[in-house]
Amino acid sequence: MNVNQQAHMASPYRQPQPALQGYSQPGYGEPPTQYAPYNGPNPGYQQGPAPAGYFPYSSLPSKALPATLASDLSSNSSSPLDLGPVRPSPNSGPPPMLTPQGYSQYTQGDVQNGPPTMSGQPHRPPVSQPYLPGSQPAYHQHYGAPHTGMQQMTNQMSGMHVSAPPPAVSGYAPSSHPQTSVSFSGVPSFSVSSQQNSPAASLTHGQPPSQPPFPGSPPLSQSPFPGVPPPGSQAQYSSTPPLPVSQPQYSSTPPLPVSQPQYASTPPLPVSQLQYSSAPPASSQAHYPGAQPPPASQAQFSGSSQTSPFHAPSSSFAPPAGAPRHPGVQPMQALPHSQYLSGPPRQPMQGPPLSQQNHVAPGPPQPGMAPGMQGPSAQPAPPGQGQGVHPHQNGAFGQMSGPQPGYGGSYPGPQNYGAQPPPPAAPPQKRLDPDSIPSPQVSELPAVQKTRHRIDPDAIPSPIQVIEDDQANRSSEPFTTGVRGQAPPLVTTNFQVKDQGNASPSYIRCTSYNFPCTSDMAKQSQVPLAAVIKPLATLPLDEVPPYIVDHGETGPIRCNRCKAYMCPFMQFIEGGRRFQCGFCSCVTEVPPHYFQHLDHTGKRVDCYDRPELSMGTCEFTATVDYCKNNKIPQPPAFIFLIDVSYNAVKSGLVDLICAELKTLLDYLPRESSEADSCIRVGFVTYNKVLHFYNVKSSLAQPQMMVVSDVADMFVPLLDGFLVNVNESRAVINSLLDQIPEMFADTRETETVFAPVIQAGLEALKAADCAGKLFIFHSSLPIAEAPGKLKNREDKKLVGTDKEKTLFQPQTSFFGNLAKECVAQGCCVDLFLFPNQYVDVATLGVVPSQTGGSVYKYTCFQVPSDGDRFLNDLRRDVQKQVGFDAVMRVRTSTGIRATDFFGAFYMSNTTDVELAGLDCDKAVTVEFRHDDKLSEESGALMQCAVLYTSCSGQRRLRVHNLSVNCCTQLADLYRNCDTDTLINFFAKYAYRSILNSPTKTVRDALINQSAQILSCYRKNCASPSSAGQLILPECMKLLPVYLNCVLKSDVLQPGADISLDDRAYLRQLVTSMDVAESHVFFYPRLLPLQKLDVEGDTLPTAVRDSEERLSKGGLYLLENGLHLFLWVGANVQQELLQSVFNTPSFGQIDPSMTNLPELDNPYSRRLRAIIENFRAQRPRYMKLMVVKQDDKLEPIFKHFLVEDKSTSGGASYVDFLCHMHKEIRQLLS
Amino acid sequence: MATYQEFIQQNEDRDGVRFSWNVWPSSRLEATRMVVPLSCLFTPMKERPDLPPVQYEPVLCSRPTCKAVLNPLCQVDYRAKLWACNFCFQRNPFPPAYAGISEGNQPAELMPQFSTIEYIVQRGPQTPLIFLYVVDICLEEEDLQALKESLQMSLSLLPPNALVGLITFGRMVQVHELSCEGISKSYVFRGTKDLSAKQIQEMLGLTKPAAPIQQGRPAQPQDHSFSSRFLQPVHKIDMNLTDLLSELQRDPWPVPQGKRPLRSTGIALSIAVGLLEGTLPNTGARVMLFTGGPPTQGPGMVVGDELKTPIRSWHDIEKDNAKHLKKATKYYEALASRSAVNGHCIDIYACALDQTGLLEMKCCSNLTGGHIVMGDSFNTSLFKQTFQRVFSKDYNGEFRMAFGGELEVKTSRELKISGAIGPCVSLNAKGPCVSETELGLGGTSQWKICGINQFTTLGMYFEVVNQHNAPVPQGSRGAIQFITQYQHSSTQKRIRVTTVARNWADAQSQIQHIEAAFDQEAAAVLMARLGVFRAESEEGPDVLRWLDRQLIRLCQKFGQFHKDDPNSFRLSESFSLYPQFMFHLRRSPFLQVFNNSPDESSYYRHHFVRQDLTQSLIMIQPILYSYSFYGPPEPVLLDSSSILPDRILLMDTFFQLVIYHGETIAQWRKAGYQEMTEYENFKQLLQAPLDDAQEILQTRFPMPRYVDTEHGGSQARFLLSKVNPSQTHNNLYAWGQETGAPILTDDVSLQVFMDHLKKLAVSSAS
């Protein structure tokens, strides 16, 4: 149910089902017909299913494909069901590909599997092979189809693909989908995940093989196969007659290997998952119903289908596919589980004990048990799934085994069987069945209750699983950007990028890599089309920064009409004399100095010598025409403006800043080619009045100039205010020594703020340069001056319609000031050290509109926050930054960038003006259709950022990205990036609360998400019971992440969160990139008990839920802003000793912000991890040690986002149920 | 009795007073017919080495409207211990301290030789002198360096306990804090925004915090601590300040091509005034403005920063084409008034080749008794020495400067006060002795002179109000009492009282007495002051016409002639030089603006209305000495006929000191005869005028421009423009004679002038 994601999965299921049908049901007839060949296998089906996966691939694949990938779609479009047509093509194409891969994968898979379930796996391979011959044809076709579509994808996603195919299946699903729905219930996904876990490393491979099976309904089975690894399941299989059957499947699976390659080739997996979920349930069930075995299988299917969905997300990759799906399914599963649980809940659980997702396990066993057919197929899958515990439900069972194991799977086992059987009679019944099973869903209240009671958190899609799978599958191979529309690995995955014509995902990530061709489709799906662009992102060390291109005096070559810059999308024609713009199709003459001949393919001969023609990202040197006032810019300046009022002095802040600046000034950003930074620096201190300092090198001592006329700010000096650090070092040092002394006895408590910015602005104006202001500010500016603020903190407004005013600035003054700043290229970074309300919403206006950052250190004390502040400051000062930037996003005809989110200012609708742009700032851009897109040309976007480098050079950085366009919604759903989507949603919502009541915003978010998912359900998933939650593989984490956004402090404040904090977070999120927003909303929680102290691998994260914490454990949690070390009450003394140097829990000092440096491997490793974490984030995270049951623990628990929060935020499970309800309402 | 000459001299030496008439016509009608009003030049701080101040307070007449000071002219009843006020005839008892007086034991103020007496009053807090430097930093490097050195040098000349402050300005105005160690601190103000004194004090952090009410003592010491950040005793911070001055940079703001540097003189002065006004009102303070160019921005701007727009000339002013003139003048007048109210004086040291806006700013000094010094560059001895001379000391080692002077005038009943002309402002003190007729600054009997030195001289104008039909008793005398309260440079408060009396005479019967007692020098100067005063507000030709008419009327009144017979015209000895003075006055830069910039005119006039009689006369009619082998140096006529080839001439115009070598002498000098031992006498001849000039240079303030030139030299114009053009290219009758050099001018010569005068004087038509 929950799992929906994989409508596609369903299809696979279907396939299996079909197979099943073939076996039993007439209804299958059709499919069977198509499948017929399958059927053949089917009989062997149980095997078949699994094998079906493989062979079916050929046939099923078509389905799978439709669901999953484009290829699939094609087939689907015609009729997913029309496996036949699809199959052929796909088969032909992909199969070969797949096969080889498959084999390789297989081997791997086998290996993996092997370990887990020796018997099972062994069986498989052999079996599979045999199967291949037998059933392959059919499957292959199916798979083939998908593969063809996905070939590339497959390569990437082999694992995923597997699952994908299932989605494809979903495509198939139409027929079988019903079953897929079942599959949701199918825990299989879990199993898959578990599998993944277990074989993790090998999983990828293993999965792939299994995946292939998945693609077809078989995928499930396959997954099961891979899942099989779960010894348990497999064992079961083996043990149970089904096993034999399954074996046949396995045998079929062997084909899988073959097919696997396909899978590999076809990333469809994810899709497949979808399919699984969707398709499998209904159809499969239906079919199954027809045949007794089917029922079982249905059950399984359901499970499997689910699994498949799960796979999509989690295991999207190969074997894990099964498992991954499961995770994905999990949410669904929850429900399913419940169902399952109700039925054979635990058993399944137990069954797959290996994998938590017992479901799977159980599934498999049962499946195996139940229908011979299913049994085999299912079993194999189940086993695998079983391992992937959660996945189990998903689809592992559902999908593959779903039919087989799923049903057979202990899960539904009885019930399913029971239920399904009845359905067999009629597909609808099947649907009903699933519903009945998920009864909770059916009857809301009960459902909820049940879910609450019964939904196993492990049965719903697990972010951890998805992340791990992606990491496992996609980190090994570099991601090459040469092909249009490839979805990159997740942000959490470490992978290398090879720029072959599209910008690296480090620079641009899209919500979808397959844009709908028409606005109708876009509207229908409600999937936002957006890109998160981080123009100056820092690349990993092993990647080359953008090449700098100089086109000479006339500046960069551009399209005459739309002014797009030369890029790989420009088509050279007429022998190279002209080029046609990829964006507007205008033909432009090539300037003589740029002329080059074309080769026989129409490419310029020098294509690979010119970065702008061969790379997705490059940088042009701009000519004077691109400079403000047509003047080469001056090198930028940094101005440090330090609050020296009583509070700041007393807290030790002033001392700290001055001491730090002395060394920090040596590390100003510079061009890599230069020895010294060109950046000039200036200093201002202020309280009620401003003090400028003349630090000219010729002076014996610094001169202080006090400007008291804050009402009409001006800069009192020019020469000597902005100086070169090296030349004026002595004077600067003397100044920094004296500032703390001078104000040591100050009694001034009032401060001004706006004049401080004005001062910096005027200074930059006077010096005629761009620059950055670093303002260190402590209190609400209440002194008489422009921009004076009142304390307006009023918690009574929270939750009312007036709440939005709290996020709006008090006066429009700062908005106007920001405009001026932007005009001058004056970027403002604000460091706040408040002891009480400072009105961040107002103070942050200028930073947030000038591309600056706000840092906030509440109740700053040097001992506890000094490190954090200094590290932030260091990084902020040192990081690469551009000034006076203008960004424009050009797109190919048909879409248009319509909305922008981030820290910038826009004076018109197209130009994003950033006074400063640093390497951490991301801009989210939303696109809308203004015309049709075509599948052939895809959609192109070019983001050009004109900026002044830190040496004062004017540069143009150009990022190009092309994405595919689709006419099938399924393709859209198959290529989404949930993390990016969440980034967009968060930014959108955080901006909306400026104008709408928070509740409205929250509801809108939920509503849109529900629409997205229901659209998927309606259009891509196979028809299934409304009681099933079917999630697209790529979006199976959407609910959990969305819930995190909804319950974030900004949208759902707790009683203890201040308005300032909310405003602060709101502004912070606005310029976050995907990686940051991801960890911000779903913190990373690492268990530390079993730390690999020698290696550099990190322990697998656990989900953000309290129940994952063990009393005997240590856990590290980070969200990009905070870092917690949670210490369980029962942690072993040795561990405490080696970490804290104290044997007793009670003696741990909760106020420490850094771990003691102890000379033992554990401590060293732990500190290394912490350092590593800190290094990954743009802001330094202070370590907080939280002892279990200590008074600080609530703070920590606040970040366990899967749990119910004290502020009223729903738990993951509850929210999933809620979403499901919403979706069902939409569907009905 | 001695001659009137001696009498006048004696009076001047003793009281610093020169009356135009030393015998007064006894009726209003007669007085008005005298043409030259009854008036005097009064030098309140006249140096009296022989006058020891007395250490007690003066005894005042008890009549509230009178309050005259007991003086030698009072009738004293020694037995009754009573004295009768000679102004209001009030009988007053002596205060107890005078119980022991008798005819043989008189207090000083009753002794006739103490018609001028100085009291030291032990009243009120003694605040140290304050010197606030307001320094333009938009100068050429060289100029700035010289100025910085001068300022540093001046620190050693200041009284050790004096407070000093420093404000610099260019595009911005900086008020420097002086007591900082390690870092120099200043408050900066925008040069374009006028601020009220209150705002300035707030911005400088000088407002008193809402201090808890302190019982008893008002926060006097606290005040001090507040101001102390900007005003510090010299002895404490002279090192700091020296360093600070040496680190002064030229204004760092770039000056684009074709622009003048932005100079916020107006705001700088405003802040200086505001600073002192808020912290130390009514204390002796000098704001010393050093500027090297015209104010170019903000209130008080005199000219825009576009170099293509030249600064206003007389021509522009006449054409009403000086667009900033009125606004700026008004602004500076307001500043000057504020400053005057607080008793702070403003000096302007303007050194630039072009004009610096003195025309607009002159009132700052004119109203407050400050100095104006104009030079070409701060890097000249003219400025350096002049500046040094500001801090000169008298025979007692006391600074020759006094602050916050208030001059009150009392007159006997027959007289009333019409006004005063000099570096003062009216205090608007109405009283019975204030005339309704105003001459100069009138309508008051009290004036404030914020900065006074030993030369400061005011022209006081009186009106005889005694009616014709109420004759003054024979032998009675009219009396005038000048009471000057001021802060001595030693920070003591002092009161100097000068009481003078002159005889009445009936103009009809005793006209010859009156005529004989005419002081033509004083009269010339007093009339000139009236003329200059008028010139400030009237068109030049009108003033000249007025002067001419006065002269003609005087000649008609006191000349002896037959009607319509010019040749019969004679003037008595006591009037003989008067027309000549008037002739030169008419040609002087005080009334003629031709060839002078508005700044120069302002500068000359400024000095003319404050110098004493001798200096004023020099200004009207320069002195010319002739050096030759034929005898000792001799004064010669200021006439072109005095320019002879074998003479060396030394001309002193007050502002310039010109040594002119005649043609032959110049040739000799060129030939180097002075180097030859056998021509030692020639060498001595050459040296003689140099020595004399040196003597003048060393005493005069401001130091005159020193010009050493020769026949045909370009600088000879200074001489040629001053001498009476008795020989010009027009009257060739003298051409070729060896009696002088022709002057190329269309100006009338004295001879012509006199001819006309005679003609007009004897004409029955007028």
Contacts of A682 in chain B (CB under 8 A): none
Binned at pLDDT 50, 70 and 90, residue A316 comes out as: very low
Q: Chain-centre distance of CA B361, in angstroms?
A: 16
**A442 vs A600 pLDDT, higher one:** A600
What confidence category does residue B409 fall into, taking pLDDT thresholds of 50, 70 and 90? very high
A953: left (phi over 0), alpha (psi -120 to 50) or beta: beta
pLDDT at A64 over 50: no
Secondary structure in 3-state letters for B332-344: HHHHHHHHHHHCE
pLDDT band at B147 (very low <50, low <70, confident <90, very high): very high
CB contact under 8 A, A702 and B195: no
Asked if B188 lies within 8 A of A719 by C-beta distance, the reply is: no
The pLDDT assigned to B509 comes to: 84
Shortest Cα distance, chain B CAs vs residue A742, angstroms? 9
Q: What angle do CA A438, A441, A445 make, to 5 degrees?
A: 125
* Angstrom distance (rounded) from CA A53 to CA A399: 10
Q: Residue A563 in contact with residue A586, Cβ under 8 Å?
A: no
Q: Which of A347-361, A793-807, A1074-1088 has the lowest mean pLDDT?
A: A347-361
Task: Look at residue A192 and tell me whether its pLDDT is greater than 70.
Answer: no
Q: What is the DSSP letter of A388?
A: T
Say whether pLDDT at A252 is over 90.
Answer: no
H helices of A1038-1160, where?
A: 1038-1046, 1059-1070, 1074-1081, 1133-1140
Cβ proximity of B487 and B404 under 8 Å: yes
Q: Are A479 and A498 in contact (CB under 8 A)?
A: yes
B182 touches chain A (CB under 8 A): yes
Considering A94-103, A453-462, B338-347, the range whose residues carry the highest mean pLDDT is B338-347
Q: Give me the mean pLDDT over the A405-428 stretch.
A: 35
Does the beta carbon of B108 lie under 8 angstroms from any beta carbon of chain A? no
pLDDT of residue B549: 92
**pLDDT of A717:** 84
* pLDDT band (50, 70, 90) for residue B2: low
Under the banding of pLDDT at 50, 70 and 90, the label for residue A1022 is confident
Say whether residue B89 is in contact with chain A using an 8 A CB cutoff. Answer: no
Residues 605-634 of B with CB under 8 A from A: none
Cα–Cα dist A655/A658, whole Å: 5
Instruction: Indicate the pLDDT class of residue A923, thresholds 50, 70 and 90.
Output: very high
Lowest mean pLDDT among A420-429, A996-1005, B213-222: A420-429
pLDDT for the residue numbered A900: 94
Grade residue B657 by pLDDT with cuts at 50, 70 and 90. very high
d(CA A1149, CA A137): 67
Q: Where are the alpha helices (DSSP H) in A80-199?
A: 83-86, 88-92, 94-113, 120-163, 165-176, 178-185, 188-197
Of A700, A703, A709, the CB nearest to B186: A703
B193:A712 CB<8 A: yes
With a pLDDT cut of 70, the percent of chain B lying above it is 95
Q: Looking at residues B479-485, what average pLDDT do you find?
A: 94
Say which residue, A909 or A250, is predicted with more confidence.
Answer: A909
Give pLDDT, residue A129. Answer: 37
Q: How far is A684 from chain B (nearest CA, A)?
A: 13
d(CA A1043, CA B359) in angstroms, rounded, equals: 78
**Cβ–Cβ of B205/A708 closer than 8 Å?**
yes
* A117 has a pLDDT exceeding 50: no
Residues A442/A1224, Cβ–Cβ less than 8 Å: no
Q: 3-state DSSP call for residue A897?
A: strand
Choice between B511 and A89, residue whose per-residue pLDDT is larger: B511
Q: How far apart are CA B349 and CA B357, in angstroms?
A: 11
A719–B183 C-beta distance less than 8 A: no
B211-247: pLDDT as tens digits: 444 444 443 444 444 457 888 888 888 888 998 898 8
| B437: its two tokens | 């007729």
Using the Cα atoms of residue B256, residue B259, residue B263 and residue B266 in order, give the sign of their dihedral.
negative
Residue A917's nearest CA partner among A530, A504, A503, A535 is A535
- Where does the pLDDT of residue A457 fall: very low under 50, low under 70, confident under 90, or very high at 90 and above? confident
What is the structure's pLDDT at A989? 94
- Name the residue among B174, B189, B247 with its Cβ closest to that of A699: B247
Q: Is the pLDDT of residue A588 over 90?
A: yes
Look up residue B302 and give its two tokens: 């005199």
CB B414 within 8 A of CB B464: yes
Helix (H, G, I), strand (E, B) or coil at A601: coil
State yes or no: pLDDT of A950 exceeds 50.
Answer: yes
Q: What is the largest CA-CA distance in chain B?
A: 88
Interatomic CA distance for residues A530 and A988, integer angstroms: 11
| The pairing of beta strand B130-136 with beta strand B285-291 | parallel
C-alpha distance from A748 to closest chain B C-alpha (Å): 11
Position B744 scores a pLDDT of: 80
Rounded CA separation A250/A238 (Å) = 11
Query: What pLDDT sits at residue B733?
Result: 56
The three state secondary structure string of A790-850 is CCCCCHHHCCCHHHHHHHCCCCCHHHHHHHHHHHHCEEEEEEECCCCCCCHHHHCHHHHHC
Contacts of A35 (CB under 8 A, 6+ apart): A15, A18, A19, A21, A22, A28, A42, A52, A56, A59, A60, A83, A138
* B205:A742 CB<8 A: no
Average pLDDT over residues A973-1001: 92
Q: Is the confidence at residue A195, as pLDDT, over 70?
A: no
DSSP B417: E
Question: Residue A314 in contact with residue A327, Cβ under 8 Å?
Answer: yes
Contact A689 B185 (CB under 8 A): no
Return the ∠ at Cα B644 (arms to B640 and B647), rounded to 5°: 125
In this structure, what token pair is assigned to residue A825?
A: 């290229």
Q: How far apart are CA A390 and CA A324, in angstroms?
A: 8
Q: What does the mean pLDDT of chain A come to? A: 70
A45 or B362: which leads in pLDDT: B362
Q: What pLDDT is stored for residue A27 in this prediction?
A: 39
Nearest to A709 among B190, B205, B243 (CB): B190
**H runs (alpha helix) in A729-772:** 729-742, 754-767
Give, in degrees to the nearest 5, the angle at Cα A82 between A81 and A84. Answer: 130
Annotate B139-180 with three-state secondary structure: CCHHHHHHHHHHHHHHHHHCCCCCEEEEEEECCEEEEEECCC
Q: How far apart are CA B356 and CA B383, in angstroms?
A: 15
Closest by CA to B261, choosing from B144, B133, B373, is: B144
Q: Which backbone phi and psi does A1056 adopt, to 5 degrees?
A: -95, 0
Task: Detail the DSSP E strand segments found in B324-368.
Answer: 344-351
**What is the value of ipTM here, to two decimals?**
0.84
Number of neighbouring beta carbons within 10 Å of residue B266:
28
H-run or E-run covering A294: helix A293-310
Q: Per-residue confidence at B252, pLDDT binned at 50, 70, 90? A: confident
Q: Say how far residue B355 (Cα) sits from the centre of its chain.
A: 21
Query: 3-state DSSP call for residue A114?
Result: coil
A-chain residues within 8 Å CB-CB of B182? Answer: 701, 734, 738, 741
The helix (run of H) or strand (run of E) holding residue A866 is helix A862-878
**pLDDT tens, position by position, B699-736:** 898 899 999 999 888 999 999 889 888 877 776 555 55
With a cut of 50, say whether residue A828 has pLDDT above it: yes
Number of CB pairs < 8 Å for A and B? 72
A309: nearest Cα among A182, A470, A408, A197: A182
Asked if the model's pLDDT at residue B290 lies above 90, the reply is: yes
Amino acid letter, residue A789: L
User: CA A5, CA A172: separation in Å to the nearest integer?
Assistant: 15
Q: Do A705 and B188 touch (CB under 8 A)?
A: yes
Sort residue A958 into left (φ over 0), alpha (ψ -120 to 50) or beta.
Answer: beta
Cα separation, A1190 vs A1188, in Å, equals 5
Determine which of B183, B199, B242, B247 to mutate to test the interface with A (most A C-beta atoms within 10 Å). B183
